[in-house]
Amino acid sequence: MSQATKRKHVVKEVLEEYVVPSPQQQIVRVLGTPGNNLHEVETAEGTRFLVSMPTKFRKNIWIKRGDFLLVDPIEEGEKVKAEINFVLYKDHVRYLKKEGLWEGEQTAARSSGEEDSDDDSDLFVNTNRLRYGCTESEDDSEEEAAAVASDQDEEEK
């Protein structure tokens, strides 16, 4: 199987399938990536440990801080205590909440202490993108900042 075909199947599996965690699996939240395909995660109870990324996901699926993962425990691990089984995206989280399989204590693992709600405000938001649905006061402040910047540019010329 070529690398492109393998990538296609792995991406299709991750994006289109909805999984239900088995009793031994855990849902964890990614805190950081120290390197070497390892990710630091935190459980709903607050325990932190490292998980490894299997080779089928490497260079095919990208994981960032704040994502949720489904992991299988590793018995012989001291530092690395689990292996990633599935990456949970927004749609997967919504599905698990709808089915009642999402633990309410999972919100305690998040850094924000807000209560669990039905909206998507608790999911990761990319701050590097422009927001098109911003309020008028934000638009005014952005226009003022642009005007000040253009005035400074004219003064320099």
Q: Is 151's pLDDT higher than 70? A: no
Query: Residue 109's pLDDT is what?
Result: 41
Query: Is 95 or 132 the better-scoring residue by pLDDT?
Result: 95
Q: What is the average pLDDT score of the chain?
A: 78
- Residue 105 pLDDT > 70: no
Which of 17, 40, 37 is closest to 28 using CA atoms? 40
Q: Are 110 and 122 in contact (CB under 8 A)?
A: yes
Query: DSSP letters of 84-118?
Result: EEEEE-HHHHHHHHHHT-S-GGGGGGSSS-PPP-S
Top CATH class, 3-109: mainly beta
Which pLDDT score is estimated for 61?
Answer: 83
Higher pLDDT, 1 or 50: 50
pTM above 0.75, yes or no: no
Identify the pLDDT of residue 8.
66
Token pair, residue 109, equals 């693992």
Domain ranges of the chain: 3-109
- Give the percent of the chain with pLDDT over 70: 66
Residue 115 has pLDDT above 60, yes or no: no
